[in-house]
């Protein structure tokens, strides 16, 4: 069972429905104990970084997610869920994140339209379990105004060019994050979720 973490931010229902369509056992939950007991965790989200961290902390879900990662459970962060994996965001002033990965979240501020909304290519820099069977240069659907800036370049597994190149897929081991929305990205987006489901099933 995959726990889809419900902390009151955004797109978790559409993620859950996409998992259901692919036959991947999943449950939307606000219960920290269920997050820790699950075989894998998905941290989705759309909205403000600070509000998200406040909601996670108030419910104890922040520590549950950290303990799940420490226990070796596969985790997938989607959009805001990816950004929360990092140490800090500059959105509305500096706000601490989960600190699972080193680095910061920064605003897209180089003269392009924000939010970055629509289909864009993702070019893979290395092979990963999440992108298995997906060609480099495939298109995925984005909706965001902030991007991650990892302190460790080795975390970056895929990039997108939107006036400037930024990370679209990051991770290491069993913890991964994607800036795009797989649940809105047609067949290849579902393939991302399938691959994560297979990663969970092997654990």
pLDDT the model gives residue 186? 95
Distance CA 203, CA 162 (A): 36
Catalytic residue of the set 79, 91, 116, 144: 79
pLDDT the model gives residue 171? 97
Q: How far is CA 12 from CA 18, 79, 101, 166, 173, in A?
A: 10, 11, 22, 24, 24
Share of the chain above pLDDT 70, in %: 100
Q: Which domain holds residue 186?
A: 2-201
Active site annotation includes 183: yes
Active site annotation includes 87: no
Catalytic residue of the set 36, 91, 144, 183: 183
Q: Which helix (H) or strand (E) holds 44?
A: none
Distance CA 63, CA 68 (A): 9
Average pLDDT over residues 19-29: 94
pLDDT the model gives residue 49? 94
Average pLDDT over residues 181-198: 96
* Minimum mean pLDDT range among 17-26, 65-74, 141-150: 17-26
Q: Which helix (H) or strand (E) holds 128?
A: none
Instruction: Name the residue among 70, 71, 41 with its Cα closest to residue 56.
Output: 41
CATH number where 57 lies = 3.40.50.880
Catalytic residue of the set 16, 116, 144, 181: 181
pLDDT the model gives residue 173? 93
Active site annotation includes 79: yes
Q: Answer yes or no: is pLDDT of 9 > 90.
A: no
pLDDT the model gives residue 93? 84
Distance CA 149, CA 141 (A): 20
The pair phi, psi for residue 198, each rounded to 5°, is: -70, -35
Domain count of the fold of the chain: 1
Distance CA 169, CA 163 (A): 17
Q: What is the pLDDT of residues 68-111, one digit of tens each?
A: 999 999 999 999 999 999 999 998 889 999 999 999 999 999 99
CA 14 to mean position of chain CA atoms? 14
């Amino acid at each position: 069972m995959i726990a889809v973490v419900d902390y009151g931010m955004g797109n978790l229902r559409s993620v859950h429905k996409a998992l259901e369509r692919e036959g991947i056992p999943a449950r939307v939950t606000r219960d920290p104990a269920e997050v820790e007991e699950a075989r894998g965790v998905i941290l989705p989200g759309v909205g403000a970084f600070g509000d998200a961290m406040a909601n996670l902390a108030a419910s104890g879900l922040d520590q549950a997610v950290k303990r799940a990662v420490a226990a070796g459970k596969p985790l997938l962060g989607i959009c805001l869920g990816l950004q929360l994996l990092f140490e800090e965001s500059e959105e509305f002033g500096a706000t601490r994140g989960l600190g699972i990965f080193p680095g910061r979240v920064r605003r897209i501020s180089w003269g392009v339209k924000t939010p970055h909304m629509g289909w864009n290519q993702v070019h893979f820099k290395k092979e990963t379990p999440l992108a298995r069977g997906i060609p480099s240069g495939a298109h995925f659907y984005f909706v965001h105004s902030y991007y991650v800036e990892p302190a460790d370049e080795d975390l970056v597994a895929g990039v997108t060019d939107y006036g400037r190149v930024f990370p679209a897929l990051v991770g290491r081991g069993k913890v991964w994050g994607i800036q795009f929305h797989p649940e809105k990205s047609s067949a290849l987006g579902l393939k991302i979720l399938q691959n994560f489901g297979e990663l969970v099933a092997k654990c």
